[in-house]
Amino acid sequence: MIAYTERGQTVKPFSFATVLIRLLAAFFAGGVLGYGRSRKKRAAGLRTYILTATGACMAILLSQYEYQMLTNVWYTAGLPDIKFDASRYGAQVITGIGFLGAGTIIAAGHQQVSGLTTATGLFACACVGIAAGAGFLQCVIGVIVISVLVLDCSYPLEYNFKRRLRNMNVFVTFDNAQDISEVTELLEFHGAHIFELDMEETEENGRMYPSAVMSIRLSKEHPSHSNLLSSVAELSCVRSVQELIS
């Protein structure tokens, strides 16, 4: 069956072959996006992305199928005129993916939140499935290329960029709570300004040790992040130190 627009221009036919092509496009797109996440041991991996894309694609195909049934076969069979909005299926997919994405966002330790990239990746994957189901394959190819560049290729660039920023978050574990003054004095000696400090307790080998999450801003003549961390680690009272990079 070939549909026509009001101006007489043909649109892509809706047949078994086109349905299969669109499902395979969604399957391939979800597989490409999910492979990179699965390789990084993320919560939502290959199977999750494939099922998200193909499920969204199926929802749009179902809306198109019902529209054709209502405007052709069922309508000619004598049913009354029924108004049908095919776009509602896509809207429900976008709404539903919000619950799935929210489930991947968790509050990690040291005031960090993880899973934001996974959630946005699932949202993009669902939109790719919608585009594939609508037959907008040019958009599918473009989103695949952009998503791979963002999720896989841009991570080293982002990591190096964050390591060169003057603002940094540091997590330090030490022996006694009074040792925090020694750490702050060392940071101030290097010209670092501490604008936020939160005390915590960290379990290590069955024992609780005081720890702190510090948000600091380095001076223009600051040493590199690694040099500053090395200086803090050399203190005898410090058990461990690491930079928190989300």
The residues near 77 (Cβ < 8 Å, ≥ 6 apart) are: none
- Please tell me whether the overall predicted TM-score, pTM, comes out greater than 0.95 for this model: no
Contact of 39 with 151, CB cutoff 8 Å? no
- Phi, psi dihedrals of residue 195, rounded to the nearest 5°: -105, 0
C-alpha triplet 152, 155, 157: angle, nearest 5°: 130
pLDDT for 5 beyond 50: no
Distance CA 246, CA 113 (A): 8
Region 127-133: mean pLDDT is: 91
Looking at residue 128, what is its pLDDT?
92
Within the chain, residue ranges assigned H as helices are 16-39, 46-68, 74-76, 87-104, 116-133, 137-148, 155-163, 180-189, 225-233
Domains assigned to the chain = 16-153 (no CATH), 165-244 (3.30.70.60)
> What's the confidence (pLDDT) of residue 26?
93
Q: In the predicted model, what is the mean pLDDT of residues 49-72?
A: 84
The CB density around residue 30, as the number of other CB atoms within 10 Å, is 29
Question: Please, what sign has the CA dihedral across residues 136, 138, 139, 140?
Answer: positive
pLDDT in tens, 70-104: 776 555 555 556 666 767 888 888 888 888 777 77
Distance, CA of 81 to chain centre:
43
* Model pLDDT, residue 1: 40
Q: What pLDDT shows up at residue 129?
A: 92
- Cα angle 43, 114, 29; round to 5: 45
Q: What is the model's pLDDT at position 82?
A: 62
Evaluate if residue 125 carries a pLDDT over 60: yes
CA–CA distance, 244 with 91 (Å, rounded to integer): 37
Report residue 112's pLDDT band, with 50, 70 and 90 as the boundaries.
low
Mean of the per-residue pLDDT values of the chain:
80
Q: How far apart are CA 151 and CA 37, in angstroms?
A: 8
- pLDDT, tens digit, for every residue of 147-199? 888 887 777 777 777 777 778 888 888 888 888 888 888 888 888 888 888 88
